Copies of this chain bind each other. A is one copy, B any other.
Amino acid sequence: MAGKGVLIMDILKVSARSAPNSVAGAIAGVIREKGEVEVQAVGAGAANQAIKAIAIARGYLAPAGLDIICIPAFGNVEIDMVERTAIRLIVQPR
């Protein structure tokens, strides 16, 4: 996907209805493959599922010696033509 030296990070979009265990599996998969992933959430319910998923993913990756941490940041996403503030959680091994 990346070209001309541009680094593109995989983004997992989480909603309030996302199952934390499934998102955790996806986080663990991308971390193993790419070493880093961004988890994006819009709204309190989504942010809650995202943070739970990262806590669960820590357990999936710990046996492989991967101690993941997250860096929270804000971002903007457009949903149905409306600009909304997203929580971006950048997940990396420590």
Q: Which residues of A contact B (CB under 8 A)?
A: 16, 43-45, 47-48, 51-52, 54-55, 58, 69-74, 87, 89, 94
* A73/B45 in contact, CB under 8 A: no
Number of copies: 2
* A55/B74 in contact, CB under 8 A: yes
* Closest B residue by C-beta to A90: B69
Known: A69-B71, A70-B69, A71-B69. A89 touches B51 (CB 8 A): yes
Task: Please give the distance in Å from A24's CB to the nearest CB on chain B.
Answer: 11
* Closest B residue by C-beta to A56: B74
Task: Please give the distance in Å from A17's CB to the nearest CB on chain B.
Answer: 12
* B55/A73 in contact, CB under 8 A: yes
